[in-house]
């Protein structure tokens, strides 16, 4: 009977082993995208989330492609390459996205960090439709596909949409696929207050557990997220999976095979699983024979002490019964002797058990002492490394101070701001000097062609199509820098117009001005006139060139002379922009003009706009620099 039981356990263990071996041989490919640095409504956790998922999936045997803060062009390329890899290798494919996801007319769109969505009908052109990704994976013809969307944050374009809906829409999962959402359809998931989002934190933790079927993984994640969010967030899945899949397969097991079995199988099954199965069959035994059968197979097994203790208890009961029988059958002396021997046996077994417990306690104390010693050694090593780092930093600082002193002495010796030769010599000797940026700016000023005092006076120098330089505009809110080549668009009899949107009349007066991402046209009053001087001021009524609502805005300005002969213009402005609701923009604009220049060398803008009748707002924070051609 015991042999038949062992064969049953052997068959079960062999089945688990074969399934694990097949799972490990199967191709696993994953594409992970995490977008945080959005121009509007940036997110804290998606980049951290995608790094956490990368580690968990690599541990599960996936070949991972990861992208952080991806552009729309990069996302489309990654999805295309991902589909081709799946088609070539088969197996299991997994797509994961963390970032902004929006629902428009029942379809889900994943938003890139450079998406410029101003109207609802632009969403499909400037983001990735989640159904396209699902279709690309389905057409690969591989065995199984998993899509995980941690993208149900608040809609960053809700104030620009006529039909904005919270959360994502339900997607039908084709045969052999599973679509998982960080929260239920139509609901919004939190970006999280810690390093990771709540959903991804639990998902990465659960997929590391071996032996869990894929459906059980998402069940455990759902339970954990609901618990930690006080039932405010409930993950959701649509599934049409066929067949079995484990992120981490059940641990393979090994048992001793019959003598007639091939030697190669003797090491194919984990003895731990065999021992557990055998113990489950005898742990409720009421006879010594069954427990001894376990000990004969696993004399030093995990449950061997428990088995021996139970045998001792059974034998003690048996000894007590024998003593009572002897007491009845023999004289009082003989009964007393039998009982004494039974008691001695019991005491001996208790002594043996106590000695084993004390030995285990001694080993634990020794291990704790060793751990404490290792920690002290590590602490000493860390202190030594910290001191060495401090010494190196101090030496480096001394060297920096020496170089700084030489740097300042060299700069002071330069006459009248420095000639071209002196400036070039300074940059050669001090490539990282304190005055490096100023020296480069002065050289650029010396070398660049100047747009002179009025539009009329430069017609002989500039003509349509000429390149003035490159305008670098930085969104200081997101850190994104955009470059724009500035050219001369027109030099007719009345004005000169630049591609940046700036325009100057033949009398030298500014008639159009680029302010942040808007171009303002003078409707009444006046802006500054070239040649520009300090201590000038004025007021003009302006209109946003992108808004056809009439004269909507004002600009109050004044000019200030700077020490290097340049002029700074400071302005308070107000204007309106178009959208689903009117937005009033109020803020400050400033610029620096070189001698005789019609375009500013640099400008900055810090403004905030609020939509009428809503709490929505637009933030305009820019800095720009014109690099000469």
Domain extents for the chain? 28-239, 456-628
- Please give the Cα distance from 263 to 87 (Å, whole number): 39
Could you tell me how far CA 265 lies from the centroid of its own chain? 45
**Residue 160 confidence (pLDDT) above 60:** no
Residues 6+ apart with CB under 8 A from 514: 500, 501, 502, 603
State percent of the chain over pLDDT 90: 37
- Please give the Cα distance from 311 to 465 (Å, whole number): 100
Q: Average pLDDT for residues 91-116, to the nearest whole number?
A: 93
Maximum pairwise Cα distance, the chain: 140
Of the ranges 60-64, 156-160, 497-501, the best mean pLDDT one? 60-64
Q: At what angle do helices 46-59 and 198-206 cross, to 10 degrees?
A: 10
**pLDDT score for 8:** 43
Q: Using alpha carbons only, give the angle 297, 303, 307 rounded to the nearest 5 degrees.
A: 80
Could you tell me how far CA 407 lies from the centroid of its own chain? 42
Q: Which residue has the higher pLDDT, 311 or 1?
A: 311
**Residue 356 confidence (pLDDT) above 50:** yes
Identify whether the C-beta of residue 512 lies closer than 8 Å to the C-beta of residue 519: yes
**pLDDT score for 26:** 85
> 496-500, 517-521, 554-558, 575-579: which has the minimum mean pLDDT?
575-579
**pLDDT score for 612:** 56
**pLDDT score for 260:** 47
- Would you call 134 exposed, middle or buried from its count of C-beta atoms within 10 A (0-12, 13-18, 19+)? buried
**Residue 541 confidence (pLDDT) above 50:** yes
**pLDDT score for 259:** 45
- Please give the Cα distance from 546 to 150 (Å, whole number): 36
Chain length of the chain: 629
> 67-81, 114-128, 284-298: which has the minimum mean pLDDT?
284-298
Q: Does domain 28-239 have CATH number 3.40.50.300?
A: no
Q: What is the pLDDT of residues 336-349, one digit of tens each?
A: 777 778 887 888 78
What are residue 473's DSSP bridge partners? 482, 624
**Residue 15 confidence (pLDDT) above 50:** no
Identify whether the C-beta of residue 598 lies closer than 8 Å to the C-beta of residue 496: yes
**pLDDT score for 231:** 92
101-104 and 92-98 beta bridge pairing = unpaired
Average confidence score pLDDT of the chain: 82
Identify whether the C-beta of residue 253 lies closer than 8 Å to the C-beta of residue 278: no
**Residue 465 confidence (pLDDT) above 90:** no
Q: Average pLDDT for residues 436-464, to the nearest whole number?
A: 67
Q: Average pLDDT for residues 127-140, to the nearest whole number?
A: 95
**pLDDT score for 334:** 62
**pLDDT score for 609:** 80
Q: Average pLDDT for residues 408-413, to the nearest whole number?
A: 82
Q: Which residue has the higher pLDDT, 529 or 166?
A: 529
602-611 and 617-628 beta bridge pairing = antiparallel
Q: Identify the band that residue 74 occupies on the pLDDT scale cut at 50, 70 and 90.
A: very high
Q: What is the pLDDT of residues 411-446, one digit of tens each?
A: 887 756 678 778 888 888 888 888 888 888 888 777
Q: Which residue has the higher pLDDT, 236 or 162?
A: 236
Q: Identify the band that residue 453 occupies on the pLDDT scale cut at 50, 70 and 90.
A: very low
92-98 and 537-544 beta bridge pairing = unpaired
Of the ranges 7-16, 247-256, 375-384, the best mean pLDDT one? 375-384
Q: Which residue has the higher pLDDT, 451 or 455?
A: 455
**Residue 7 confidence (pLDDT) above 60:** no
**pLDDT score for 17:** 42
Dihedral pair phi/psi, residue 175, rounded to 5°: -60, 135
Q: What is the pLDDT of residues 173-199, one digit of tens each?
A: 899 999 999 998 777 776 667 889 999
**pLDDT score for 433:** 86
Residues 6+ apart with CB under 8 A from 237: 178, 179, 180, 181, 218
Query: Beta-carbon neighbour count of residue 364 at 10 Å?
Result: 10
**Residue 627 confidence (pLDDT) above 60:** yes
The pTM of this model reads: 0.42
Q: Average pLDDT for residues 514-536, to the nearest whole number?
A: 90
**pLDDT score for 168:** 86
> 137-141, 185-189, 586-590: which has the minimum mean pLDDT?
185-189
- Would you call 91 exposed, middle or buried from its count of C-beta atoms within 10 A (0-12, 13-18, 19+)? middle
**pLDDT score for 262:** 46
Identify whether the C-beta of residue 66 lies closer than 8 Å to the C-beta of residue 57: no
> 313-327, 351-365, 502-516, 519-533: which has the minimum mean pLDDT?
313-327
Query: Beta-carbon neighbour count of residue 54 at 10 Å?
Result: 19
- Please give the Cα distance from 346 to 343 (Å, whole number): 5
Residue 308: enclosing H or E segment and its boundaries?
A: helix 304-329
- Is-cis flag, bond preceding 531, omega within 30? yes
Q: Which residue has the higher pLDDT, 88 or 399?
A: 88
**Residue 488 confidence (pLDDT) above 90:** yes
**Residue 396 confidence (pLDDT) above 80:** no
Identify whether the C-beta of residue 273 lies closer than 8 Å to the C-beta of residue 13: yes
Q: Which two tokens stand for residue 35?
A: 């977008």
Reduced to 3 states (helix: H, G, I; strand: E, B; else coil), residue 504 is strand
Reduced to 3 states (helix: H, G, I; strand: E, B; else coil), residue 263 is helix
128-129 and 107-110 beta bridge pairing = antiparallel
Give the sheet arrangement for strand 63-68, strand by strand. Answer: 63-68, 28-34, 92-98, 144-150, 177-181, 236-239
**Residue 605 confidence (pLDDT) above 50:** yes
Q: Which two tokens stand for residue 419?
A: 């000639």
- Please give the Cα distance from 450 to 64 (Å, whole number): 53
SS (H, E, C) 523-537: EEECCCECCCCCCCE
């Amino acid at each position: 009977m015991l042999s038949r039981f062992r064969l049953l356990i052997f068959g079960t263990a062999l089945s688990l082993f074969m399934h694990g071996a097949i799972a490990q041989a199967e191709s696993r490919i994953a594409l992970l995208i995490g977008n945080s640095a959005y121009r509007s409504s940036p997110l804290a956790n998606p980049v951290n989330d995608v790094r956490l998922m990368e580690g968990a999936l690599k541990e599960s045997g996936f070949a991972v492609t990861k992208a952080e803060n991806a552009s729309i062009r990069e996302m489309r390329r990654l999805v295309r390459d991902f589909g081709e890899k799946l088609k070539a290798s088969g197996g299991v494919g997994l797509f994961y996205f963390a970032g902004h996801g929006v629902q428009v007319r029942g379809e889900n769109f994943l938003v890139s960090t450079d998406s410029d969505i101003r109207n609802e009908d632009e969403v499909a052109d400037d983001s990735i439709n989640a159904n396209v990704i699902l279709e690309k994976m389905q057409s690969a013809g591989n065995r199984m596909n998993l899509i995980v969307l941690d993208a149900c944050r608040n809609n960053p374009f809700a104030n620009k949409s006529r039909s904005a809906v919270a959360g994502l829409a339900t997607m039908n999962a084709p045969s052999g696929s599973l679509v998982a959402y960080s929260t239920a359809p139509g609901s919004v998931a939190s970006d999280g207050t810690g390093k990771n989002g709540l959903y991804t934190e639990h998902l990465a933790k659960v997929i590391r557990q071996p032996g869990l079927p894929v459906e059980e993984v998402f069940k455990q994640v759902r339970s954990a997220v609901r618990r930690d969010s006080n039932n405010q967030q409930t993950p959701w899945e649509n599934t049409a999976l066929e067949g079995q899949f484990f992120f981490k397969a059940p641990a393979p097991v090994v048992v001793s095979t019959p003598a007639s079995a091939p030697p190669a199988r003797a090491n194919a099954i984990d003895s731990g699983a065999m021992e557990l199965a055998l113990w489950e069959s005898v742990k409720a035994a009421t006879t010594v024979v069954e427990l001894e059968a376990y000990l004969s197979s696993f004399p030093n097994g995990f449950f061997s002490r428990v088995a021996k203790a139970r045998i001792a208890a059974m034998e003690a009961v048996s000894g007590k019964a024998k003593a009572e029988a002897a007491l009845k059958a023999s004289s009082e002396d003989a009964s007393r002797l039998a009982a004494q021997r039974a008691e001695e046996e019991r005491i001996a077994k208790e002594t043996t058990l106590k000695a084993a417990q004390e030995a285990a306690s001694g080993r634990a104390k020794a291990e704790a002492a060793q751990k404490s010693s290792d920690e002290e050694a590590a602490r000493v090593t860390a202190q030594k490394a910290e001191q060495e780092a401090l010494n190196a930093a101090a030496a480096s600082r001394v060297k920096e101070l020496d170089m700084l002193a030489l740097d300042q002495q060299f700069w002071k010796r330069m006459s009248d701001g420095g000639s071209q030769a002196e400036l070039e010599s300074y940059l050669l000797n001090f490539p990282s000097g304190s005055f490096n940026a100023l020296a480069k700016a002065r050289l650029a000023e010396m070398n660049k062609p100047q747009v002179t005092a009025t539009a009329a006076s430069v017609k002989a120098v500039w003509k349509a199509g000429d390149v003035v330089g490159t305008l670098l505009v930085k969104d200081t809110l997101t850190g994104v820098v955009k470059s724009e080549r500035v050219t001369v668009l027109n030099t007719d009899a009345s004005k000169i117009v630049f591609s940046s949107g700036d325009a100057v009349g033949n009398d030298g007066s500014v008639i159009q001005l680029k302010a942040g991402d808007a171009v303002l046209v003078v409707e009444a009053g006046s802006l500054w006139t070239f040649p520009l001087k300090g201590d000038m001021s004025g007021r003009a009524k302006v209109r946003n060139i992108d808004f056809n609502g009439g004269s909507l805005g004002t600009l109050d300005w004044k000019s200030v002379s700077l020490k290097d002969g340049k002029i700074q213009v400071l302005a308070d402005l107000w204007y309106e922009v178009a959208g689903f609701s009117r937005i009033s923009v109020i803020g400050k604009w400033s610029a620096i003009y070189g001698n005789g220049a019609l375009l500013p060398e640099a400008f900055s803008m810090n403004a905030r706009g609020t939509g009428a009748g809503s709490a929505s707002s637009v933030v305009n924070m820019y800095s720009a620099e014109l690099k000469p051609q």
